[in-house]
Structure 1
Amino acid sequence: MKKPLWTLAVSICTVALVGGCSSGSAPSATSSAAAPAVKSDTPATESKTPAKKDVTLTYIASQGWIKDTEMQLAKKFESETGIRIDYQIIPADQYFNVLKTKLNAKEGPDLFGGQSGKSEISLNYNVEKNAVDLSDQEWTKREDKLSLEQLSLNGKVYALTIWDTGNSFVVVYNKKIYEKLGINVPKTYEELKQASMKIKQAGITPIYEPIADGWHHVLWFAEPGPRYDEATPNLYNDLNANKKKFVDDPSMKTSLTQMKEMYDLGFFGDNTFSDTGADTANKLASGKYAMSLSTQSTPSDVTKINPELKAEDFGFFPIPLADNQFYYINPGGPSKFVYSGSKHIEEAKQYLAFLAKPENLQYMVDNDKTVSNLNFSGLKDKYTDEQKKLFAAYPKRGTDLQDYVNYVNPQWMDMGKDLVAMFSKSMEPIDVLKSIDKRRADMAGVAKDPAWAK
């Protein structure tokens, strides 16, 4: 599951543009950011303004996918067109079941959110049946090609991804704690282990890991995928061609074994099974935790909670499991699909085209503190000095496991359950890999993948 979903709401929250939901990180319709001035597409020589439409588009999405900036833009869109957007936000742990139920019942909303990825959009959403072909839309010429690939089947584009795809989850560490204890940035797992032991001996929990969300801890295994592909050349392609299995790969087994050791040594603290991502900034701000696998915008959240800390007091490094030194890239993310059964397909396309205008994309970059850049050409980024140091220190780039290897992302939450079972000693690392292989085979069978039919 890509970069998503810090906040877990306790009930379904319907967000209308006139009202707003204050639960967790759900976007609010009363954001302090002003709606941007958007140029009209109507030529100045025309004397008539196009008639507004009395249409409401229903749009369901998982908690955390709809930002304040999009809601502000939706207000501007409504003022220009008369088309309203009724956002219905579903808790992360319920979202995919709700979406599948609606799609299977042929009662989909006008727009629905979903993760990108070829196997994801094919198996989970059956986009060739349930979504509209958007290949002819102008914005496809400006969107990052890697992002488009994750949204395409048989040469057709089925969704719009607007996401900070380069803002990978990395280990955010407290420089002050590191400096006080004389710790250098870990380049290997052994160095991370020794650093964590030293931190723990100082009475500080080494890593804040929110396992309760169900998805976050899977990142530790999946993000270092480029390292696995490096250690076993052509692994990604061989996995997609069904020439290799997860269970046969030594680097994957090493990574899981190291994760289990981190848990067994208490590096995640005593409450990791009940900890949630929504509390990450608070925990780092307390000074009682030295690190967390988090987004690169987290330090700015920490400083608002604890003014004694500055954003530059935190640095970044990639997950070093299996001695990974790649800066892993996630070209996909939460995406916007138009439901094929909608009565307002053209209006839904119009909304996506509006969001994808360069000036509106730049507005999102400029006014969303969690975004440093977006996956479209021609935008001005706002990378911090620490991010620039990160990029310079880790020049090797590679696509993470779930965005390249088929039939991984759709089983993300199940992988999370397997890892919990591994931490609880009811599964071994080898069992986790076997479980992943079985689900991949099952999904490939449903998809009638020829590589599994041999």
Structure 2
Amino acid sequence: MKTSHRLSAAALAVVTSAVLTSCGTSGDPGAGSQAAPADGPVTLSFMIGSDQSIQDTAKALIAAFTKANPTIKITTEVSPGGSEGDNLVKTRLATGEMTDVFWYNSGSLLQALNPAQTMVDLTGDPVLAQVQPDYLPVVTQGGKVYGVPAAAAAGGGILYNRKVYERLGLQVPKTWAEFMANNEKIKAAGITPVVTTFKDTWTSQLLVLADYYNIHAAHPSFAADFTAGKAKFATTPAATAGFQHLADIHAKDFVNKGFGSATVDQGLGLLAEGKGAHYPMLTAILPPVLATRPNAATDVGFFGVPGDDAAKHGATVWEPPAIYIARTTEHLDAAKKFLAFVASPAAADAVNAAVQPTGPFRVKGAKLPGNALQVAKDLQVYIDNQATAPALEFLSPVKGPSLEQITVAVGTGLTPPAEGAAQYDKDVEKQAKQLGLPGW
């Protein structure tokens, strides 16, 4: 899988050039000083991603902000997707040619941008006043905070058909044993228990990646220990569990026929039509199916991958990307004003009117609209209950490139789960050494 947060960044994006302006400032942003007010209008440049949802989100943010701040104009520049876009951002920051503000991943990928040298430090700044505290770690490097959430969060876990659950009298499971018991009843009713789409190999990783909440609940220091080379998947039972889940589902024949050649689009179709009851997936993947199956907005719900302890049931969150200020900006006050707006309930309302959120906003006081997708409402409950953890990829730069091949092999019964976990440990060791991480 593209790294999970890269996936959500690719699933969220923005284009358009907006017009309008505000009382800006200029000064020495490198020193973090507030610039003196400018005499005239200010134009901020804003680099955004190429995905349509990012473009729609950015357009809504810009329109609402510039309406309230008519002396600030914001123009946008669209970066290409994937590695080409990553390289462009890194190059522009390294050469001092970045736009005033820019949209980029949160989480571990942030460290590759050398934020201490390339971005404005927002630690303790009023810009962050309305950002939810549990989001801040994914925009923090070296103890300094650099960004604000650009969009809504996404949940990683199990999408399920609520109509199937209602018809069979099932309850949302809070343990893996309960989940498997539900699958038995679903199979007996002639419905595919777990939709599996291994043609798109990245989808095979979800039961491992989305199980991170349970790893964190059992071992709160796992991410730090894993990054330091001290914790391994094969020797940590809670971490091996995700591989075991893949094997369990295959062994019980809970998967759809032809799962090895099934695609994401086909999987979403099975789920939305009630021909499949569960689909391990990200909530952010749902919007495309709504054009042809609008019933999925209410018929498809979400729950976290169940663990062993019902009292600790929670969900893994794919945190939203962030908006950052380049250290080279000549309009620091205007840039901070824009970021403060982005991290406000008013901004969430503006975006909600333009883009149907697949999860909650990470802003205090921001509320989901009444017509929000059911999966977003379900994820909101986990966040309200403080029963979430960011996906491991937001906490550690270590993610082996071969995980999707390993999980396909485990999920098809070719590789035992313990062996798959051990293979992944070897896979991440190669990457950690390439990154030059200590302890490896």
Change (3 A) 1:232 1:318: same
Match of 1:254 in 2: 241
Match of 1:120 in 2: 109
1:376 to 363, 370, 377: 363
| TM, length-normalised to structure 1 | 0.71
Counterpart check, 1:317 vs 2:303: yes
Change (3 A) 1:280 1:349: farther
Shift of 1:367: 5.0
Match of 1:186 in 2: 173
Q: Partners of 2:215 and 2:54 in 1: how far apart? A: 33
Q: Determine if contact 2:407/2:420 at 8 Å carries over to the other structure.
A: yes
* Mapping for residues 36-75 of structure 1, pairs under 5 Å: 51-53=40-42, 55=43, 57-61=45-49, 63=51, 66=54, 68-75=56-63
Match of 2:15 in 1: 15
Matched position secondary structure for 1:84? strand
Change (3 A) 1:67 1:244: same
2:149 to 156, 161, 167: 161
Q: Determine if contact 1:164/1:374 at 8 Å carries over to the other structure.
A: yes
Change (3 A) 1:8 1:237: closer
Q: Partners of 1:192 and 1:215 in 2: how far apart? A: 23
Between stretches 417-426 and 367-376, larger displacement belongs to: 417-426
Match of 2:389 in 1: 399
Q: Determine if contact 2:156/2:317 at 8 Å carries over to the other structure.
A: no
Cα deviation, 1:191-210, whole Å, max 9, x if unaligned, reads 43454455456554333455
* Mapping for residues 55-454 of structure 1, pairs under 5 Å: 55=43, 57-61=45-49, 63=51, 66=54, 68-77=56-65, 80-81=70-71, 83-88=73-78, 90-92=80-82, 95-96=85-86, 99-100=89-90, 108=98, 110-117=100-107, 119-122=108-111, 124-135=112-123, 137-165=125-153, 168-181=155-168, 183-196=170-183, 198-200=185-187, 202-209=189-196, 215-231=202-218, 235-236=222-223, 238-239=225-226, 242-263=229-250, 265=253, 267=255, 269-271=257-259, 275-276=263-264, 282-294=269-281, 305-306=292-293, 309=295, 313-320=299-306, 326-330=313-317, 332-340=319-327, 348-365=335-352, 368-370=355-357, 373-382=360-369, 387=377, 391=381, 397-402=387-392, 405-408=395-398, 411=399, 414-423=402-411, 428-438=416-426, 441=429, 452=439
Cα deviation, 1:250-276, whole Å, max 9, x if unaligned, reads 232232022134356361552565523
Q: Partners of 1:394 and 1:443 in 2: how far apart? A: 36
Q: Sequence identity, in percent?
A: 23
Cα deviation, 1:131-163, whole Å, max 9, x if unaligned, reads 332336422122122212221223322222234
Q: Which runs of 5+ in 2 are unaligned?
A: 25-37
| TM, length-normalised to structure 2 | 0.72
Change (3 A) 1:184 1:152: closer
Q: Determine if contact 1:2/1:332 at 8 Å carries over to the other structure.
A: no
Match of 2:29 in 1: none
Q: Residue type matched to 1:84 in 2?
A: I
Q: Partners of 1:347 and 1:233 in 2: how far apart? A: 39
Shift of 1:174: 1.9
Change (3 A) 1:245 1:294: closer
Q: Residue type matched to 2:51 in 1?
A: Q
Q: Residue type matched to 1:252 in 2?
A: A
Q: Residue type matched to 1:337 in 2?
A: Y
Q: Partners of 1:67 and 1:106 in 2: how far apart? A: 24
Q: Partners of 1:216 and 1:136 in 2: how far apart? A: 39
Aligned pair count?
A: 418
Change (3 A) 1:333 1:64: farther
Q: Determine if contact 1:8/1:213 at 8 Å carries over to the other structure.
A: no
Q: What is the RMSD computed on CA atoms of the aligned residues?
A: 4.7
Change (3 A) 1:400 1:223: farther
Q: Residue type matched to 1:16 in 2?
A: T
Change (3 A) 1:87 1:433: farther
Match of 1:46 in 2: none
Shift of 1:248: 0.8
